[in-house]
A and B are shown apart, each in its own frame.
Chain A
Amino acid sequence: MMRLTLTGGMMATALLAAAPTYAQPSGSATLDAVKARGMVICGIAGAVPGFSLPDSQGVMRGIDADSCRNVAAAALGDATKIKFTALTTTNRFTALQSGEVDLLVRSTTWTLGREANLGLEFAGINYYDGTGFLVKKSLGVKGAKEMDGATICVQPGTSTELAISDYFRQSKMKFTPILIQDLAEIQSAFLSGRCDSYSTDSSALATFRATQPNKDDFVLLPDIISKEPLGYVVRKGDDKWFDIVRWTYFATVAAEEYGIDSKNVDEKLKDTNPDVRRLLGLEGDMGKALAIDNKWAYNVVKQVGNFGETWDRNITVLGVPRGINNIWNKGGLHYAPPIR
């Protein structure tokens, strides 16, 4: 009987597999749902300092949380109309795929595989990151090349896992992976000395180190072994929603470029620069083109802040330098196409 069911299950799966896999995009279903609900539901990690971590009042703080608020401010005109859903590395994609969240900003690396296989699309990058290594100072290691034979703690199901594997193969070195899914468990494994090194996005390592009481006992190795662009993820097939999320990010970058921040945004309404006037919804119908309020970018900057403000508020306070995460004309990679 059991075998029968198994075969039945296999057949059902095979049938599903044989069915045509692509269908028509459904228009702006997400925006409609968001407007009807009056709230954007955003998937975050919920436990990573600097990215998303509730403060003592229970308010979610971090660059990922603020990125979510940006979208709420743009789509609904109110940055507080946001609900955060904490997701693990394992259920984040299903949560987005199934519509449980409208948007995923959970330190998720943009890769081809994820876009091609998972039915997802990356609308923007809010953090240019890379895989790094945190080691104990007492180990005396100066660089990643000295790590041959090391035991490394890493979370399974992440792009870090794949990056380390590649790096050690390429450098003809060996390592023993310790793969623990639970963030707290893997951090305690590293602290207890179960592994020589803890590896993940270097931003997360820096913030983890910063929150340790004995932070000087740990060294962040200078090597960055992979590119980890972390971004805004939406479902594939809802192009309008994709545009809103993507241009919300661009608006924050553009605002920083034009020197508009949450404090001076009202003065900037009197500005004569056509770029600024278009961005703030005084000229052109940029918002209407996105099917949202024309003052969308004004709302974002006024209520949450421009990209630099968000960064300083969440990341600079942890002592992480801005580096390539500056805007393009200050030596960074954040660049917004013209808003016109």
Chain B
Amino acid sequence: MTMPGNSAPAALHAPIDARDRPPSSVYGPVAWMRANLFNGWLSSGVTILFGYLIIRAAIGFVDWGFLNAIWTVPALPNGNPDPATCRAVRGTGACWAAVGDKWRFITFGRYPYDQQWRPGICIALFLSLYVMSAMRQFWRKELAFIWLGILTLIGVLMWGGVLGLRYVPQDEWGGLPITLILATFGLAFAFPLAVFVALGRRSTQMPAVKLICVLYVELIRGVPLVALLFMASVMLPLFLPSGMNIDKLLRAQIAIILFVGAYVAEVIRGGLQALPKGQAEAADALGLSYWQKTMRITLPQALRLVIPPLVNTFIGFFKDTSLVLIIGIFDLLTSGKTAMSDPTWQGSSTEIYIVMAIVYFGFCFAMSTYSRSVERKLDSAHNR
């Protein structure tokens, strides 16, 4: 929906912030340390104190996580792993063997073991979708079709039932694909909703529509996601005619879409507001209709402006999908917690938490790094 990348704002003229540079008169490691670590007695003291603490913590972590850690355990005669060596080092060393034993369960949940290549491919598809959406070459209307295509492909792979794939019902899905599905489908469906809500909220001609949009946004933003998920899981069935039922994953997805819609609407509204008034006025002067003006002039510009905050919002609710743990949906965090409750690996929950934290961090950090790079490229004058 955005314009092609060749009309990018003049990023080349961004001023270089001189104060972020070290004074040019001193170079070399000693001078650098003098200027940046031991500049005055207070600075030196703090450096030494924190340096000591960091080294202590690093040594402790390396001891626990690497030197004393157990990476594999022997198997018992019945084929199950024998956690005795892990129990022996409890408290002094990490038991990565627990992660090694459980990683497929944590990643794919209860998806049939022999079919787990399917969610595996889905994860790869999701990643490629993110990468494509991040590239400027793809910022065109066709991106919507790519999304549609890939999401359909993911649905086919997960459900199966066609092309000789075995049908796998939704209650057997789990792990990382669920997290990615909730976040991505959440964005895909919330985005059009959010566009309309943002336009509605800025409407001057239709006070009733504006009121509805304001109410929707403020109501949703005023309550925690937990309460919404809770409502979806407990109350949504009551709202439907008796006999009609929707799956609990879909119910959670609906709650997430409504939640994301309200936040993304505010982001888009911010972008629309940041556009110079002249754009809309010029469009009016050309005699364009409201939809022509919106779809061809204002919205594409506004959307390009809001890409960094949009990515930040996406990061936010990518993390928030973990809240479905509370209503018993089998996402990455839930499958990790289920893996921890296996009596064999009792006491290894810290290790599993760390691995899950790294997975979430990986996704979020990549996205936030990307968002910052886009922000830097966008013309700062347009930005706020």
Are B112 and A5 closer than 8 Å at their CB atoms? no
A235 to B211, CA, bound (A): 40
Digit string of A44-62 for contact with B (CB within 8 Å is 1, else 0)?
A: 0001000000100010000
- B window 298-330: CB within 8 A of A: 325-328
* Dominant secondary structure of chain B at its interface with chain A: helix
> B245: which of A86, A98, A185, A191 is its contact (CB, 8 Å)?
A98
Given known A-B contacts A58-B112, A94-B238, A95-B237, A213 and B344 have beta carbons under 8 A apart: yes
Q: How far is the CB of B97 from chain A (nearest CB, A)?
A: 15
Residue B341 at the A interface, CB < 8 A?
yes
Are B219 and A191 closer than 8 Å at their CB atoms? no
Task: Give every chain B residue within 8 A of A184 (Cβ-Cβ).
Answer: 337-338, 340-341
A291 to B7, CA, bound (A): 72
- B window 238-255: CB within 8 A of A: 238, 240, 242-243, 245, 248
Given known A-B contacts A29-B243, A86-B328, A99-B243, A1 and B215 have beta carbons under 8 A apart: yes
Are A91 and B346 closer than 8 Å at their CB atoms? no
Question: Counting chain B CB atoms within 10 Å of each CB, which of A100, A181, A187 scores highest?
Answer: A100
A209 to B219, CA, bound (A): 46
Task: Give every chain B residue within 8 A of A83 (Cβ-Cβ).
Answer: 169
A211 to B341, CA, bound (A): 11
Are B238 and A98 closer than 8 Å at their CB atoms? yes
A174 to B368, CA, bound (A): 51
Residue A80 at the B interface, CB < 8 A?
no
Task: Give every chain A residue within 8 A of B171 (Cβ-Cβ).
Answer: 84-86
A188 to B172, CA, bound (A): 25
Given known A-B contacts A97-B237, A188-B349, A58 and B110 have beta carbons under 8 A apart: yes
Are A91 and B219 closer than 8 Å at their CB atoms? no
Q: How far is the CB of A15 from chain B (nearest CB, A)?
A: 15
Residue A118 at the B interface, CB < 8 A?
no
Task: Give every chain B residue within 8 A of A188 (Cβ-Cβ).
Answer: 340-341, 346, 349
Are B327 and A91 closer than 8 Å at their CB atoms? yes
Beta-carbon nearest neighbor of B214 in chain A: A1
- A window 107-144: CB within 8 A of B: none
Task: Give every chain A residue within 8 A of B235 (Cβ-Cβ).
Answer: 94
Are B234 and A91 closer than 8 Å at their CB atoms? yes
Q: How far is the CB of B188 from chain A (nearest CB, A)?
A: 26
Task: Give every chain B residue within 8 A of A58 (Cβ-Cβ).
Answer: 110, 112, 172
Residue A182 at the B interface, CB < 8 A?
yes
Q: How far is the CB of B305 from chain A (nearest CB, A)?
A: 28
Given known A-B contacts A29-B243, A58-B110, A2 and B218 have beta carbons under 8 A apart: yes
Q: How far is the CB of B255 from chain A (nearest CB, A)?
A: 13
* Dominant secondary structure of chain A at its interface with chain B: mixed
- B window 38-78: CB within 8 A of A: none
A212 to B337, CA, bound (A): 17
Beta-carbon nearest neighbor of A49 in chain B: B343
Are B341 and A94 closer than 8 Å at their CB atoms? no
Task: Give every chain B residue within 8 A of A29 (Cβ-Cβ).
Answer: 243
Residue B371 at the A interface, CB < 8 A?
no
A97 to B83, CA, bound (A): 44
Task: Give every chain B residue within 8 A of A151 (Cβ-Cβ).
Answer: none
A112 to B325, CA, bound (A): 31
Beta-carbon nearest neighbor of A185 in chain B: B337
Are A99 and B245 closer than 8 Å at their CB atoms? yes
- A window 147-184: CB within 8 A of B: 181-184
* Beyond A58-B172, A91-B248, A94-B235, 9 additional pairs, beta carbon < 8 A: A47-B341, A88-B327, A94-B233, A94-B238, A95-B237, A98-B242, A99-B245, A100-B248, A213-B346
Residues of B with Cβ closer than 8 Å to A? 83, 110, 112, 169, 171-172, 211, 214-215, 218-219, 222, 233-235, 237-238, 240, 242-243, 245, 248, 325-328, 337-338, 340-341, 343-344, 346, 349
Query: Could you show 21 A-B contacts with beta carbons less than 8 Å apart?
Result: A2-B218, A2-B222, A5-B215, A58-B172, A84-B171, A86-B328, A88-B327, A91-B234, A94-B233, A94-B238, A97-B237, A98-B238, A98-B240, A98-B242, A99-B237, A183-B341, A184-B338, A184-B340, A187-B341, A191-B346, A213-B344
Residues of A with Cβ closer than 8 Å to B? 1-2, 5, 29, 33, 47, 54, 58, 83-88, 90-91, 94-95, 97-100, 181-185, 187-188, 191, 211-213
